[in-house]
Amino acid sequence: MSARPGHPPRTRSVGPAPTPAATPAGYAPLRTRGERLALRIHLRTAAACTAMALGLAGMSVLALTVGDFPLTPGEVAATLIGRGSPGHDFIVYTLRMPRLLTALFVGAALAVSGAILQRLSGNPLGSPDIIGFTNGAATGALVVIVLIGGSMLQVAAGALVGGVAAAVLIYLLAFTRGAGGRFILVGIGIAAMALAANSYLITRASLQDAMAAQAWLVGSLNAAGTEQAAAVGLALAVLLPVAVSHGRALSLLSMGDDAAKGLGVGAERSRLVLIAVSVVLAAIATAATGPILFVALAAPQLARRLTRSPGPGLVAAALMGALLLLVSDIAVQRLFTGAALPVGTATGLIGGLYLVGLLITEWRRGRG
């Protein structure tokens, strides 16, 4: 086509072909065929998660083989594929597998719950056992044990109701006017009130109920069965993908509501969903085993130090929580063979030392 007189000919400028954005250092691109799905993998996080998964596999084999009736890894493998003897089937499927799965699922659920709360509050003390969710669940369970004398299923339901009630109270007091900074202080106050209520309920109980309540409050895997493992595993299978899908919102909410809203995140709705996921995970884990302290506090921080990832790190936290609780349970079983100590004693001892170190570190940062 020729140009009209007095007008320059139309030409189409052809620039250099657009180049894909460069991958930041420490990441590796992962693309499917046709690039329908493109991800950036944080290499250190991937390596740390792989190492923790291998550690979990090794500790799981150890948990299935050691005990009063030791089995070889070959006997365990034969049992798992259906070629074991009836005695081995009873040991693996009735005695050890439910306890193993409960430890894995409860540890992962508590760690994810703690990771969400710590990210939302921007405080490493933001843990369900520090800010009252766990104590609220214990109050609900003690009401059933002491006042109603209910079954284990009713105790679990009471723990779930108590945990949710504590969370709703904290949310209404801390977030209704946009004052998210009060989250930790309000939670500690609710935790103290729930602890006082728990002590009062125990003083009003009969000797038998008080002993049962006190044993439940320590947190133990000694009575873990298939029902507990299935309940916590199902909750984790449903709620962990929900939490991961809100990972971007979780990262932006830690920068403040205004920044999150400016980047297109519905702050109130996303926070409500994430808190609901955290509360339900903590309450169901507590209902299954009793309040196991400090796993939700320590696991997310340890995973974050290991991965050094800028993201929420929910999967890494879940793996670390499962590993911590499984190692603690094996330790109390093998180091105190005649005492049948609950796993809550081990996590309480290790977590207490961790909390002291964390408070000293935060105090030094505050002075600096």
* Per-position DSSP letters for 264-332, written without gaps between them: T--HHHHHHHHHHHHHHHHHHHHHHH----SHHHHHHHHHHHHH--SS--HHHHHHHHHHHHHHHHHHH
Task: List all residues 6 or more positions away from 130 whose beta carbon is below 8 Å from its beta carbon.
Answer: 184, 187, 188, 191, 297
The model's confidence at residue 101, banded by pLDDT at 50, 70 and 90, is very high
Residue 177 is predicted with a pLDDT of 56
- Could you give the CA distance from residue 107 to residue 295 in angstroms, rounded to a whole number? 7
- Could you give the CA distance from residue 368 to residue 361 in angstroms, rounded to a whole number? 11
Residues in the chain: 368
CB 88 within 8 A of CB 75: yes
Task: Note the pTM of the prediction, 2 decimals.
Answer: 0.85
Please give the backbone phi and psi of residue 366, each rounded to the nearest 5 degrees, phi first: -65, -35
- Could you give the CA distance from residue 135 to residue 293 in angstroms, rounded to a whole number? 10
The model's confidence at residue 94, banded by pLDDT at 50, 70 and 90, is very high
The residue ranking higher by pLDDT, 188 or 105, is 105
Which tokens in the block code for residue 271?
Answer: 């926070």
Which tokens in the block code for residue 217?
Answer: 């409050």
| DSSP 8-class letter at 26 | T
Question: How many H helices and E strands in the chain?
Answer: 15, 2
The residue ranking higher by pLDDT, 263 or 292, is 292
CB 174 within 8 A of CB 186: yes
Residue 6 is predicted with a pLDDT of 47
Average pLDDT estimate for 113-136: 86
Average pLDDT estimate for 313-331: 93
- Could you give the CA distance from residue 45 to residue 306 in angstroms, rounded to a whole number? 8
The residue ranking higher by pLDDT, 251 or 50, is 50
- pLDDT of 19 above 80: no
Average pLDDT estimate for 105-115: 95
Task: List all residues 6 or more positions away from 162 whose beta carbon is below 8 Å from its beta carbon.
Answer: 136, 137, 138, 139, 140, 141, 143, 194, 283
- pLDDT of 20 above 70: no
Residue 107 is predicted with a pLDDT of 95
Question: The domain at 51-354 falls in which architecture?
Answer: Orthogonal Bundle (1.10)
Residue 257 is predicted with a pLDDT of 74
